[in-house]
Structure 1
């Protein structure tokens, strides 16, 4: 109540259950003051039975399907790993459930030493093989630089899409039918599209306009490849934490105790480009702080009070010493050039070609694919519906 009175005085409307405020993309509030994103989480919990016996049974049935599909093969599932909490714990969970995972990593050449060591420690302890695609570092930097010059927020979008493509390629190479992803809508929500959009056409269009080098080693996922993986190869994407009772803090403590895993200081900060995006780029150029995704989730689940979450949200993000200097050096930007680009008006993904309208037109198909776990349900919910400005 104290927080609500404080916000009322400041003239900011905030969800009565989490800390998403009126500045969040496409937000709305019901008569109880609860935002549409909290209601979306409620609906997903009911749909997947998250954290209940029914959810656990549903996931156990999926595990049986995975083992059956992988019978006689070296691996029965693929797990993308970053050295972060969720993906590291996912590897442990798969082994605990009797599966034979192949860990897959897309190396954008901006990993921290901590993330690299975390991957090594967990996979070595669990005797899990690693498949890695390393992009040419100059090529990766050229893509990042292109997005910086484009003036859009999604400076690290190329990493997320490349990891998805790399996991598909690894699955196809070894005849694997299932990909396990360490995402939890309970602990981190489903990020509103807003300034968080990416697809293969978007990446290609921006790089074509602002890039200096050809994309040769970068694993671009085009629309055609996306449909191939989903409709022809029929590689299923499963998110176990959508079914199970999963807590990030408990998982982190377990990893530290069992494997000597090391925390890297914050959500998604195991990669230096991601750290630059969250700590410097998004807050400075776009006035956006994506910590609200995790903090809102902590408030929803009662791990933090709304007042505590709001207070943390209004502190300065933690930024590694020399991170900005490292960014400028890697992308060959002078101080003056960096300042010039940062001072330009922000642009949006709508200013460049994307597949967004195509996804919307094909919404009935993607609804079927999402229900069959052939595309992530979060993709369907975020990308297949029109987004208000």
Structure 2
């Protein structure tokens, strides 16, 4: 099997290719982003300084000057620290899908209390949350945590609009976690609505659905900018975790995005078992790519199945009303794909040049343009 000579991505990764040096297209993509954003260098520092100055100018006279989504994880927690250090006045925003781990909840409380940052929370009705999650599992498509990811984005926009804030800061770092390839794991508001209409049992009343036109409104009319400071800075997840633990008694939760129970279920069991998709290649690949872990060691770890908690599997089955036989049948059923449902994918592709301009102005993340606005090899119309 072909494996990138720089990271650990192999030929099973969707839409991957290798150049004459054996380096994958995703590593080359990250090289270009590093140059474009000046990541970790003086140019990147100047760029983010200019953005911070613009945020402060726009925020004069307002209660808050930016919004930051929080999950209790490393990146969002440390982003709050960075924002306070540079003199910003953030409002923390949390989308509670009712599947938070106790660790995540405590981490959010510890950091916000110590930094004296206000919290805006949107709590989904738990029965509605379970019905939406159940519908995704029954659908057979891989992206069962898609409703959470999209809802957080919508809630941040809503909070920003409520407090007249024009900047949303996100804690993503392409250096420490790459940009996840789009293939089977695609989602948008059209997909969420389509899956729920086919398999859901309860009306969506409290779920903050981001439709295509709401998205267009946020970026083109409200013109709320999305900024990822770690794309410009010399950011280390290990340094961040050490700082958070020492300063706030923050607790590590065991892995990438495992602070939420349903995401933990998806990453450690559901995706690896049903779809043979192991998300550890994102962080392990980044560690190898950045020289923080020997490539051979990263590949050896990746070759071992991810550890999962059997009690979490039992909890998911019980909470969602799956019998053992029902759950086994779902896990053994042939996978479905996102393109079997209605989505906005073709609209995003047709509007590619618009979204490129919006990405260059920080009105949509550059990763959105790179992942959503181009045809995906193997995806059917």
Query: What TM-score do the two structures reach when normalised by structure 2?
Result: 0.99
By how many angstroms is 1:341 displaced? 1.2
Determine if the alignment matches structure 1 residue 179 to structure 2 residue 168: yes
1:374 match: 363
Q: Which residue of 2 aligns with 1:13?
A: 2
Query: Which residue of the other structure, out of 262, 282, 286, is the alignment partner of 2:275?
Result: 286
The aligned counterpart of 1:28 is 17
Residue 305 of structure 1, CA deviation: 1.1
Q: Name which of 301, 322, 331 aligns with 2:320.
A: 331
Deviations 1:22-64 (A, max 9, x none): 0000000000000000000000000000000110010000000
Paired residues, number: 378
1:225 pairs, out of 194, 203, 214, with 214
Aligned pairs for 1:335-354 within 5 A = 335-354=324-343
Three-state SS of the structure 2 residue aligned to 1:98 is coil
* C-alpha separation in 1, matches of 2:349 and 2:307: 37
Runs of 4+ in 1 over 6 A off after TM superposition: none
Equivalent residue, structure 2, for 1:50: 39
Please say if 1:70 is aligned against 2:59: yes
- Three-state SS of the structure 1 residue aligned to 2:29 is helix
Partner of 2:266: 277
- Alpha-carbon deviations, 1:152-197, whole Å to 9, x = none? 0000100000000000000000000000000000000000001221
The corresponding residue for 1:235 is 224
User: Match of 1:297?
Assistant: 286
Q: Structure 2: how far apart are the matches of 1:368 and 1:249?
A: 34
2:19 match: secondary structure: coil
Residue aligning to 1:98: 87
Structure 2 stretches lacking a partner, 5+ long: none
- SS of alignment partner, residue 57 of structure 1: helix
Task: Decide which of 74, 79, 87 is 1:85's aligned counterpart.
Answer: 74
Q: What residue is the counterpart of 1:251 in the other structure?
A: 240
- Where does residue 261 of structure 1 map in the other structure? 250
* Deviation of the 1:375 alpha carbon: 0.4
In the other structure, the counterpart of 1:146 is 135
- Matches of 1:365 and 1:66 in 2, distance apart? 24
Q: Distance in 2 between matches of 1:283 and 1:154?
A: 12
1:192-203 equivalent positions in 2, closer than 5 A: 192-203=181-192
Quick one: distance in 2 between partners of 1:67 and 1:318?
A: 44
Which segments of 5 or more consecutive residues in structure 1 lack a partner in the other structure? Answer: 1-11
Tell whether 2:309 aligns with 1:320: yes
- Give me the CA root mean square deviation: 0.6
Q: How far is 1:239 from its partner?
A: 0.1
Q: What SS does structure 2 have at the residue aligned with 1:34?
A: coil
Aligned partner of 2:97 in structure 1 is 108
TM, length-normalised to structure 1: 0.97
- How far apart, CA to CA, are the structure 1 residues paired with 2:226 and 2:319? 34
Please give the per-residue CA displacement for 1:306-351, whole angstroms capped at 9, x wherever unaligned.
1011011112212234000010011110001111111110111111
Show CA shifts across 1:57-109 (max 9, x none).
Answer: 10000000000000010100000000000000000000000000000000000
Q: Deviations over 1:238-275 (max 9, x none)?
A: 00000000010110000001110000011110000000
Task: Give the secondary-structure state (helix, strand or coil) at the position aligned to 1:322.
Answer: helix
Q: 2:199 aligns with which of 200, 204, 210?
A: 210
Identify the residue that residue 117 of structure 2 maps to in structure 1: 128
Q: Deviations over 1:284-324 (max 9, x none)?
A: 10011011011101111000111011011112212234000
Q: Aligned equivalents of 1:51 and 1:113: distance in 2?
A: 34
Q: Distance in 2 between matches of 1:375 and 1:331?
A: 34
